[in-house]
Chain A
Amino acid sequence: MIELNNVAYSYGGGALLSDISLQLAPGSFYFLTGPSGAGKTTLLKLCYGALQPTSGEVTLFGDDVAGLARDDIAVLRRRMGVVHQDCSFLDHLSVTENIALPLRVSGRQSKAAQEDLTELMAWVGLTHRAEALPPELSGGERQRAALARAVIMSPDVVLADEPTGNVDWEMSQRLLRLLVELNKMGKTVLIATHDLSLIRAAKSQVQARVLRIANRQVQLAGADL
């Protein structure tokens, strides 16, 4: 579903990533790790079409990203749930409206979708915060709201960039459980994190593969974590 072939990406200064080939298998659970600044966020952005590779090709759901118009990528995003580290929201809309935003922008608001929304709010434990505005939420609540927003369209793949970056251990465990549950429902999950203990905790719950960025390359890390 997401495939990178000999992809390289360089910012003005020099190459950040080079010669990366990667194929995300449907239904699998990945961690993407590596030191800060290694290019985890860049790689994720390549995976959801926010960046175009400098060379090589990125294929999303069978389409070469280079050949897609901006609006085509927007439509593809509806099949991908993205959780950002800073999980930005529309601060003037309530939590419920923010979580339902993907439905609204794709014109899929319906009665059934409304029921899904209620269920989803309960699943991430935000029912009591439904009418709050995003700035009133705690870090953990923001991350859960972002996760709910990422999955409301029932995407095939969930990409999360440091989803546990700003929350305590307890909350990161809770988020991890939600992501593992999503994976068990058949969704591909890719989590970028530098938190090795989170990866270790996940290994007891799910068959996770770990991709490590080192020296501008992505390697499949051994089971020795």
Chain B
Amino acid sequence: MKLVRADVKRFVLGDRQADRVVPRSGFTAQLTVFAAAAMAFLAVFAMALSLAAGRLATRWGDELAQSSTIRIVAPLDQRAAQTEAALGILETTAGVAFARALSASEQQALLAPWFGAELDLQTLPVPQLIEVIEEDSGFDAAGLRLRLAAEVPGAILDDHSRWRAPLVDAANRLRLLGWLSAVLLGASVAAMVTLAAHAALAANAQVIAVLRLVGATDRYIAQAFIRRFTLRAFGGALVGSVVAMAVVAFLPDASDTAGFLTGLSFQGWHWFLPFLIPLLCAAVAFVATRAAAGRTLKRLA
């Protein structure tokens, strides 16, 4: 760890010209930059996906978990009485923060997307809905169902868990998949830089021999390669990330129109996260080149 710190310090403060001792290699250098840019581009999307999936999971989990619905399905003349009875039970149920019957106009608004705004609900046997907001501790759904069944035969409790759980699961999986992709992309950057560094070290065996002859330490020689590959990976990843962020920024925003869907775009401080990718890329390249150079130089005379 101490040695790594020393190398990082040398990287920052050391001979800025150190990498001049290794000849420029146009084509492979461009490949490294390009690969780093492509990886960073993909990593930004993986990151956006993960964050969006995380938001979905949280939103569905939180908002839906806190609310339940009771439907009163009863003949018209009993509906009001049963609704009263159900509200009475809810008032005495531990864990229920708030319960109220939806008004006719609210129910009309809920159904309007399907039946149109002109429909008179009185002509249809539409069940009365009661909105139940839970306290954080939640309530005993099974117990409530039993009490309702005993006193309000037309009441059906729906705590949304039936369809909520798989959605939250799916969103969480998606988030995991996104982070896994990001990790794989990072590993690919490491593999790519290792290969490129090995190739560069092999191609420059003659240069390394000359440097050894004039008294260069392995550390100095390694630094020349480390500096070069770290800067390439950083530069490439920076370009890739910025392009990807621009693309993400111009994605159509779905969050306003579609209730609990969410846009893929970053939100708030999450916009700073993609800037970590070039830094991570540079760190990965630094470590990978350092390891490759350490291994290769030991084999050379």
Q: Taking beta carbons and an 8 Å cutoff, which residues of A are in contact with B?
A: 50-51, 70-71, 74-78, 82, 84, 88-93, 101-102, 104-107, 149, 153
Q: Are B215 and A77 in contact (CB under 8 A)?
A: yes
Least CB distance, B10 to chain A, in whole angstroms: 10
Q: Are B21 and A74 in contact (CB under 8 A)?
A: no
Q: Are B206 and A88 in contact (CB under 8 A)?
A: yes
Distance of A102 Cα from B297 Cα, bound (Å): 19
Q: Are B214 and A101 in contact (CB under 8 A)?
A: yes
A-B contact pairs, 11 of them (CB 8 A): A70-B298, A71-B217, A74-B212, A74-B218, A91-B23, A101-B21, A101-B210, A104-B21, A106-B216, A107-B15, A153-B215
Cβ contacts under 8 Å, B20 to chain A: 93
Q: Are B218 and A70 in contact (CB under 8 A)?
A: yes
Distance of A18 Cα from B207 Cα, bound (Å): 32
Q: Are B23 and A75 in contact (CB under 8 A)?
A: no
Q: Are A90 and B218 in contact (CB under 8 A)?
A: no
Q: Are A50 and B301 in contact (CB under 8 A)?
A: yes
Q: Are A71 and B219 in contact (CB under 8 A)?
A: yes
In the complex, the chain A residue whose C-beta lies closest to that of B206 is A88
- B220 contacts A by Cβ under 8 Å: yes
Q: Are B298 and A105 in contact (CB under 8 A)?
A: no
Q: Are A92 and B17 in contact (CB under 8 A)?
A: no
The 8 closest A-B CB pairs, nearest first, are: A105-B216, A77-B215, A78-B215, A92-B23, A71-B217, A102-B214, A74-B217, A101-B214
- B211 contacts A by Cβ under 8 Å: yes
Q: Are A74 and B215 in contact (CB under 8 A)?
A: yes
Cβ contacts under 8 Å, A70 to chain B: 217-218, 297-298
Q: Are A92 and B217 in contact (CB under 8 A)?
A: no
In the complex, the chain B residue whose C-beta lies closest to that of A79 is B215
Least CB distance, B295 to chain A, in whole angstroms: 13
Least CB distance, B199 to chain A, in whole angstroms: 18
B179-217 contact mask (Cβ, 8 Å, vs A): 1 or 0: 000000000000000000000000000110111111111
- B24 contacts A by Cβ under 8 Å: yes
In the complex, the chain B residue whose C-beta lies closest to that of A107 is B15
In the complex, the chain B residue whose C-beta lies closest to that of A76 is B215
In the complex, the chain A residue whose C-beta lies closest to that of B301 is A50
In the complex, the chain B residue whose C-beta lies closest to that of A71 is B217
In the complex, the chain B residue whose C-beta lies closest to that of A50 is B301
Known A-B contacts A50-B301, A91-B23; the reply to A104 vs B215 at CB < 8 A is: no
Distance of A89 Cα from B211 Cα, bound (Å): 9
B15-31 contact mask (Cβ, 8 Å, vs A): 1 or 0: 10100110110000000
5 extra A-B contacts, CB within 8 A, seeds A88-B209, A88-B213, A90-B23: A71-B217, A71-B218, A93-B20, A102-B215, A106-B216
Q: B210's contact among A50, A78, A88, by CB below 8 Å, is which?
A: A88
Distance of A190 Cα from B298 Cα, bound (Å): 28
Known A-B contacts A50-B301, A105-B220; the reply to A90 vs B210 at CB < 8 A is: yes
Give the residue among B206, B215, B217, B298 with the most A Cβ atoms within 10 A: B215
Distance of A105 Cα from B220 Cα, bound (Å): 7
Q: Are B213 and A104 in contact (CB under 8 A)?
A: no
Give the residue among B206, B216, B301 with the most A Cβ atoms within 10 A: B216
Q: Are B207 and A90 in contact (CB under 8 A)?
A: yes
Q: Are B215 and A106 in contact (CB under 8 A)?
A: yes
Which residues of B (135-188) have their CB < 8 Å from a CB of A? none
Distance of A149 Cα from B211 Cα, bound (Å): 12
Known A-B contacts A50-B301, A71-B219, A104-B15; the reply to A82 vs B21 at CB < 8 A is: no
In the complex, the chain A residue whose C-beta lies closest to that of B214 is A102
In the complex, the chain B residue whose C-beta lies closest to that of A89 is B210
Q: Are B207 and A84 in contact (CB under 8 A)?
A: no
Q: Are B17 and A105 in contact (CB under 8 A)?
A: no
B212-237 contact mask (Cβ, 8 Å, vs A): 1 or 0: 11111111100000000000000000
Distance of A143 Cα from B207 Cα, bound (Å): 18
Distance of A149 Cα from B214 Cα, bound (Å): 8
Distance of A90 Cα from B15 Cα, bound (Å): 18
Distance of A75 Cα from B20 Cα, bound (Å): 21
Distance of A71 Cα from B23 Cα, bound (Å): 23
Distance of A82 Cα from B23 Cα, bound (Å): 23
B111-133 contact mask (Cβ, 8 Å, vs A): 1 or 0: 00000000000000000000000
Distance of A147 Cα from B212 Cα, bound (Å): 16
Q: Are A75 and B217 in contact (CB under 8 A)?
A: yes
In the complex, the chain B residue whose C-beta lies closest to that of A109 is B15
Q: B24's contact among A75, A76, A84, A92, by CB below 8 Å, is which?
A: A92
Distance of A153 Cα from B214 Cα, bound (Å): 9
Q: Are B21 and A93 in contact (CB under 8 A)?
A: yes
Distance of A149 Cα from B23 Cα, bound (Å): 19
In the complex, the chain A residue whose C-beta lies closest to that of B20 is A93
Cβ contacts under 8 Å, A102 to chain B: 214-215
In the complex, the chain A residue whose C-beta lies closest to that of B298 is A70
Cβ contacts under 8 Å, A105 to chain B: 21, 211, 214-217, 220
